Amino acid sequence: MRHQMAGKKLGRSTKQRKSLRRTLIHQLFQHEKIRTTEAKAKAIKGQAEKIITLARNRGDATRLIELAEDGEEATLLQLLTNAQTARLLGLAKGGDDAGLEREAKAIVVHAQRLVAREITNRETLQKLFQDIAPRYINRPGGYTRIVRIGQRKGDAAEIVQISLIEAEA
């Protein structure tokens, strides 16, 4: 029995499964909606949402600088690690604008590198950080929606459409 085992195996070896998930997530961010089986959609939903959250929280250097200059420690602690928050607030209190900007850019680059582990396509990575993540700045989560379409003709597998939801205005 698979008690307390995270993730679905999807009938594939480890390398095939990782490759499939990366491809599906890449396609989701590239096209903003894809059709796939229900099992695959459920397998990538959590990972895709974590990637969007990371890009949303740490993807904008100017926002991080503004929060640090305003002394928003509680907000920064929600978005960043304790060490990153301490460095940003220390630089902001010390009046080191160049250092603050350098540190904020370093946080953004680190976030991009973390996401680049999963999304290797540069255009898609750029789209995620510049177009997709800013849409969800005021949204606490739930960036994807799974809608059932029907059954596949050959094997009667449940086909769904997983899509990024529209940002609320």
* Over residues 15-33, mean pLDDT: 94
pLDDT digits (tens, 9 = 90+) for 68-123: 998 888 999 998 989 999 999 999 998 888 999 999 999 999 999 999 999 999 99
Total Cβ atoms within 10 A of residue 9: 12
Tell me the residue type at 62.
T
Distance CA 35, CA 32 (A): 11
Mean pLDDT of the chain: 91
Q: Is 160 helix (H, G, I), strand (E, B) or coil?
A: strand
Q: What is the pLDDT of residue 8?
A: 80
